[in-house]
């Protein structure tokens, strides 16, 4: 287990902090899935975002550059 991998009790504690009490029989499965998700999304930390804003919602037709078809 790596230093950043959540243990099942830690996963339960994080979930409880998020307002989701987990029964004991869920701790291991949730910890494993959370670890997998973390391993997938952690690669985004490599990107240099500079001043790039997030794009939570957008209007595709108002943006550039798109030449006329």
Partner 1 sequence: MQPHELSLTAAADAIRARQLSPVELADSVLERIAQAEPRLRAYVTVTAERTRTAARAAEHDIAAGRYLGPLHGIPMGVKDLIDVAGTATTASSRVRGDHSAQTDSTVAARLAEAGAVLLGKTHTHEFAYGLTTPQTHNAWDTGRVAGGSSGGSAVAVAAGMATFALGTDTGGSIRVPAALNGVVGLKPTYGLVPRHGVTSLSWSLDHVGPIARTVEDAALVLAALAGHDPRDPASLTTPATDYRPDAGTDLTGLRVGVPRTYYFDQVAPEVEAAVRRAIDQLQALGARLVEVEIPMTRYIQATQWGLMVPEATAYHEATLRAVPELYQGDVRVLLEAGELMPAGDYLRAQRSRTLMRQEWARMLTEVDVIAAPTVPATAVTAGQETITWADGTVEGVSDAYVRLSSPANITGVPSLSMPVGHDTAGLPIGMQLLGRPLQESVLLRVGHAYEQTQPVHDLAHAT
Q: At what angle do helices 27-41 and 8-17 cross, to 10 degrees?
A: 80
Q: With contact defined as beta carbons under 8 Å apart, do 17 and 10 qualify?
A: no
Question: Is 69 near partner 1 (CB under 8 A)?
Answer: yes
Question: Is 4 near partner 1 (CB under 8 A)?
Answer: no
CB of 45 to partner 1, least distance (A): 7
Between residue 10 and residue 49, which ones bind partner 1 under the rule CB under 8 A? 11, 14-15, 18-20, 22, 26, 29-30, 33-34, 36-38, 40-47, 49
């Amino acid at each position: 287990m790596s230093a950043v991998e959540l243990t099942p009790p830690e996963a339960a504690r994080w979930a409880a902090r998020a307002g989701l009490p987990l029964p004991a029989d869920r701790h291991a499965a949730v910890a494993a899935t959370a670890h997998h998700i973390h391993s997938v999304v952690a690669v985004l930390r490599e990107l240099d975002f500079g001043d790039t804003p997030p794009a939570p919602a957008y209007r595709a037709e108002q943006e550039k550059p798109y030449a006329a078809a």
